[in-house]
């Protein structure tokens, strides 16, 4: 959540800072601000509540000049979304400014101490204590003051700090929240993630936890917070194209990303499947001892939100075809249990951003207990990718819309690949391996067929936009897709209530809600539970409930019970979730648009949840 950007060089800082904040909008925010140090050594700060264009208008009127600055988009944790609570925050004199992602857990105690010693606070945030702590330790050296301040802080943080009394530098620090240093020519940048600097530089240094960075116009230095010694680290080249963070003719990023699903399948499988041999090649796992992988007798998939539904699909796949017991755990719950883990357990984190705080904390717990830790992530160089022993990248490019769609498709695809990978090193036959890999190879074309229903789905969204409640139902492989369909509708058509349930669980409570004003969306492909789903649809119709069905092409009988039908092509049962998710993503997007919602930036939501 939140976005941080910083600039130091020879150009106007506000130009980059504003551009960077716009690129970081997908992270979710309710206010924005920036502080710039002018050539005459004056520190000027501008803040606004609401969208970045409000901040942009204020900047145009004030001419925020200077070649050094920091900026921030805030997603409220402590204190309401107000101008005073927006970042950057300053010390008493306005000589030091701080932007911060994360949570300072002991801020109340620190704030009380600082007030007693004479400090005056202007906001209700936890972040402001950092500025005052730095002020209390400042003796003409900003990094030393920050190092001293951090000794008193408990919690998570990505920090960027500037001071008029130690100009010519930005000082940053990181613990459990992402931050990168980006290297340019006669200019340097800092950001929450590398998407902010696309087109400016592709040279990125990822800060690790408990590290402090000092960035000047022509240099950078990394220091260990614990040992206070310098750390030498080479930069990575991040290959992002500016077109990947543009809408390319679509009205919303979410629509663009849904329509990228066929390309997502290609990118997620490229070079990884060998259909003629029924094999999957996952280079990210080749660094591991293959005997260790063969001996894995239990898998725990850890994820949050949409990724957890992809993991649930993976659970069905891995158990049915690889013969390995699998559990899906929410990252926010896993570490508060006492999980039984040993060296034959693989704990796999599934996360688009690779920065999800709860999932990261769960990985740390798994590692302490001796498990093999793996990651399925989209963002190269993310914390999960660095903290796991090995993993698999999604390779689907930046996902800008807050609601995950193309990453979800990729996560299910990668889990299908992982199923074949584990299956073939265990007991999966050549014939079954070939059957699955050949069908995976066809999926981009099958998704394109689903997307051709675009106009029909848009029409259904208009037809059903008057309804305020929906029930999404599916069984076996498509039960998680029912959960996903309901979540997407809640996220982007955020005046609508929706619930996702296993079809068989409907009569254990939810059916009480059904009437003519409470439609149900059934995911009912021709699979092993088709007849069971049909019985559940009969129960809905007996109570005058309307039904939208996601069904397999050629199933004409479904029209006798469903009010509306969206068809998907026939495929293997284990791969139907990939196809059935696409029309549900489109339906949610068009419902949101019909209701006048900003489907790219739903209210109250952040793209990457980097605090617990």
Q: Which residues are catalytic?
A: 2, 607
CA-to-CA distance for 307 and 378, rounded, in angstroms?
12
The phi-psi region of residue 492 (left if phi > 0; otherwise alpha if psi is between -120 and 50; otherwise beta) is: alpha
Helix axes 576-594, 454-464, angle to 10 degrees: 50
CA-to-CA distance for 385 and 369, rounded, in angstroms?
19
**Read out DSSP for 434-451?**
HHHHHHHHHHHHHHHHHH
Element (H, E) at 115: helix 107-116
CA-to-CA distance for 268 and 272, rounded, in angstroms?
8
CA torsion 199-230-176-99 (nearest 10°) is -60
Backbone angles phi, psi at 377, to 5 degrees: -135, 160
Contacts of 459 by beta carbon, 8 Å cutoff, 6+ apart: none
CA-to-CA distance for 569 and 386, rounded, in angstroms?
38
CA-to-CA distance for 436 and 438, rounded, in angstroms?
6
Q: How many Cβ atoms from other residues are within 10 Å of residue 295's Cβ?
A: 12
Three-state secondary-structure class, residue 102 = strand
Positive or negative torsion for Cα 450, 456, 462, 463: negative
Backbone angles phi, psi at 476, to 5 degrees: 50, -120
What's CA 437's distance to the chain center, in Å?
28
Which of 274, 452, 275 is CA-nearest to residue 283?
A: 274
In the chain the first and final C-alpha atoms are separated, in Å, by 11
Residue 194: DSSP 8-state: G
Which of 314, 191, 310 is CA-nearest to residue 245?
A: 191
- E strand map for 412-546: 469-474, 497-502, 520-523
Give the burial string for 446-464 (b: 16+ CB within 10 Å, else e): bbbebeebbeebbebbeeb
Contact 180/205 with Cβ under 8 angstroms? yes
**Strand order from edge to edge, sheet including 43-49:** 43-49, 31-37, 68-74, 3-8, 188-191, 180-183, 203-206, 236-237
How open is the CA angle 570-565-541, to the nearest 5 degrees?
Answer: 120
Three-state secondary-structure class, residue 501 = strand
Residue 388: DSSP 8-state: S
Three-state secondary-structure class, residue 195 = helix
Residue 322: DSSP 8-state: I
Please tell me whether the peptide bond between 88 and the residue prior to it is cis, using omega within 30 degrees of 0. yes
């Amino acid at each position: 959540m939140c976005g941080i950007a910083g600039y130091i060089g020879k150009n106007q800082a506000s130009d980059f800072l504003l551009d960077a904040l716009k690129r970081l909008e997908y992270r979710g925010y309710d206010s924005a601000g920036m502080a710039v140090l002018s050539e005459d050594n004056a520190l000027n700060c501008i803040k606004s509540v609401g969208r970045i264009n409000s901040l942009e208008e204020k900047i145009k009127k004030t001419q925020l000049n200077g070649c050094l600055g920091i900026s921030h988009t805030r997603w409220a944790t402590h204190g309401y979304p107000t101008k005073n609570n927006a970042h950057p925050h300053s010390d008493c004199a306005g000589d030091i400014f701080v932007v911060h992602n994360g949570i300072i857990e002991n801020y109340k105690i620190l704030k009380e101490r600082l007030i007693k010693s004479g400090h005056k606070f202007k906001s209700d945030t936890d972040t402001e204590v950092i500025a005052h702590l730095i002020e209390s330790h400042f003796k003409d050296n900003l990094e030393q003051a920050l190092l001293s301040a951090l000794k008193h802080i408990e919690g998570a943080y990505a920090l960027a700090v500037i001071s008029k009394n130690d100009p010519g530098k930005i000082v940053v620090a990181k613990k459990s929240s992402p931050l990168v240093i980006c290297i340019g020519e006669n200019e340097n940048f800092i950001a929450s993630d590398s998407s902010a600097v696309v087109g400016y530089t592709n040279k990125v240094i990822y800060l690790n936890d408990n590290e402090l960075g000092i960035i000047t116009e022509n240099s950078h230095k990394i220091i260990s917070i614990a040992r206070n010694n310098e750390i030498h680290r080479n930069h990575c080249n991040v290959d992002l194209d500016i077109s990947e963070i543009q809408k390319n003719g679509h009205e919303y990023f979410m629509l663009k990303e849904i329509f990228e699903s066929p390309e997502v399948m290609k990118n997620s499988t490229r070079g990884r499947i060998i259909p003629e041999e029924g094999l999957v090649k996952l280079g990210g796992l080749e660094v591991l001892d293959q005997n260790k992988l063969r001996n894995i007798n239990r898998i725990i998939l850890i994820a949050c939100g949409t990724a957890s539904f992809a993991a649930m699909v993976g659970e069905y796949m891995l158990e049915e075809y690889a013969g390995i017991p699998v559990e899906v755990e929410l990252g926010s719950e896993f570490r508060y249990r006492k999980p039984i883990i040993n060296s034959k357990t693989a704990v796999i984190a599934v996360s688009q951003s690779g920065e999800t705080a709860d999932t990261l904390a769960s990985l740390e717990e798994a590692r302490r207990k001796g498990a093999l830790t793996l990651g399925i992530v989209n963002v190269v160089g993310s914390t999960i990718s660095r903290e796991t022993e090995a993993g698999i990248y999604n390779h689907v490019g930046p996902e800008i819309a807050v609601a995950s769609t193309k990453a979800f498709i990729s996560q299910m695809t990668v889990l299908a690949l992982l199923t074949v990978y584990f299956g073939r090193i265990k007991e999966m036959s050549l014939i079954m391996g070939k059957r699955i890999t050949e069908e995976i190879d066809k999926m981009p074309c099958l998704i394109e067929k689903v997307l051709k229903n675009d106009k029909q789905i848009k029409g259904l969204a208009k037809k059903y936009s008057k309804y305020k409640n929906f029930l999404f139902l599916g069984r076996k492989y498509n039960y998680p897709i029912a959960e996903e369909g309901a979540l997407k509708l809640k996220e982007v058509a955020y005046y609508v209530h929706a619930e996702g349930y296993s079809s068989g669980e409907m009569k254990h409570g939810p059916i009480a809600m059904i009437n003519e004003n409470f439609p149900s969306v059934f995911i009912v492909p021709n699979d092993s539970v088709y007849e069971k789903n049909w019985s559940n649809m009969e129960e809905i119709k007996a109570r005058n409930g309307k039904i939208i069905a996601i069904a397999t092409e050629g199933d004409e009988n479904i029209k006798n019970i469903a009010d509306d039908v969206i068809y998907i092509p026939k495929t293997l049962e284990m791969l139907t979730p990939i196809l059935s998710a696409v029309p549900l993503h489109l339906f949610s997007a068009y419902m949101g648009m019909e209701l006048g919602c900003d489907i790219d930036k739903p209210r109250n939501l952040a793209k990457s949840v980097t605090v617990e």
